Amino acid sequence: MNKRMFIQPRQSGKTTAVILKYLKKPNGTLIVTVNYNSANHIKGELQSLGIVNSNVSHETLFSGGVFSAGVRGASTIILDEYMYFTKKKAIYELIHKLNPENLLIYSTSDKKYNRNMVELIRKHKETGEPIGDEKFLKDNKKEIDDLYYNFLTDPDVQIFDGMSIHNEKYKAMLHPSQYELEYENKYLTDAINPGKRIFVIL
């Protein structure tokens, strides 16, 4: 599976990118959005472009295995605003089971993640090296569970996260930490090199 993850700021054209990718191969592509309203919005955009019967689902339906037989053979699955999904474990397991040729993820990060923890879990997935001792696992269970079933920590995912946006209006309105996350795209804490990441300006 070719996995590419685009972590971008708010208002940076993520949904437009999702639609453009879909238009390249509508019959072999499935879009999964964060909720019903987002799915309907994308369906409406596609209808305005002449595509009436589009393969667009949302997290709740898809994670429950509710999709057409044709979707099982989709060569490309696109996840829109994936970091805000609440059923990441079910989505993660299902996509690995379906094993599409391409997985494209577009999202703003939902929160800041500890870079050390991301790297520990990524290394564990790649080499089998323990994440930590029993106490460490117990003390950090929630964070580990959250990141383990997240494509962010897959060692074979390419991460594109070099985009940031400067907006004086929102900088004045938002708390500095929220602005850093949502517009400056600073979603990893501390300064340790996270490994296999690719920085681009999209």
* Residues 70-104: tens digit of each pLDDT: 566 789 999 999 999 999 999 999 999 999 999 99
pLDDT of residue 202: 33
For the whole prediction, is pTM greater than 0.85?
A: yes
Total count of residues recorded for the chain? 202
Tokens of 42: 């994308």
Contact yes or no for 15/64 (Cβ under 8 A)? no
Confirm whether 197 is domain-assigned. Answer: no
pLDDT of residue 170: 82
The string over 77-113, giving b where at least 16 C-beta atoms fall within 10 Å of a residue's C-beta and e elsewhere, is: bbbbbbbbbeebebbbebbeebebebbbbbbbbbeeb
Confirm whether 195 is domain-assigned. Answer: no
Q: Count CB neighbours of 6 within 10 A.
A: 21
Dihedral pair phi/psi, residue 65, rounded to 5°: 80, 20
pLDDT of residue 29: 94
Q: What is the mean pLDDT of each run of 10 residues along the chain (202 residues)?
A: 95 92 93 96 94 91 73 86 96 94 96 93 94 90 94 96 85 88 86 39 34
Confirm whether 85 is domain-assigned. Answer: yes
Number of domains in the chain: 1
Q: What is the CATH number of the domain that holds 81?
A: 3.40.50.300
200: nearest Cα among 3, 6, 2: 6
Domain ranges, residue 110: 2-189
Confirm whether 164 is domain-assigned. Answer: yes
Rg of the chain over all Cα atoms, to the nearest angstrom: 17
Indicate the angle between helix axes 115-127 and 141-148, nearest 10 degrees: 60
pLDDT of residue 199: 37
Confirm whether 31 is domain-assigned. Answer: yes
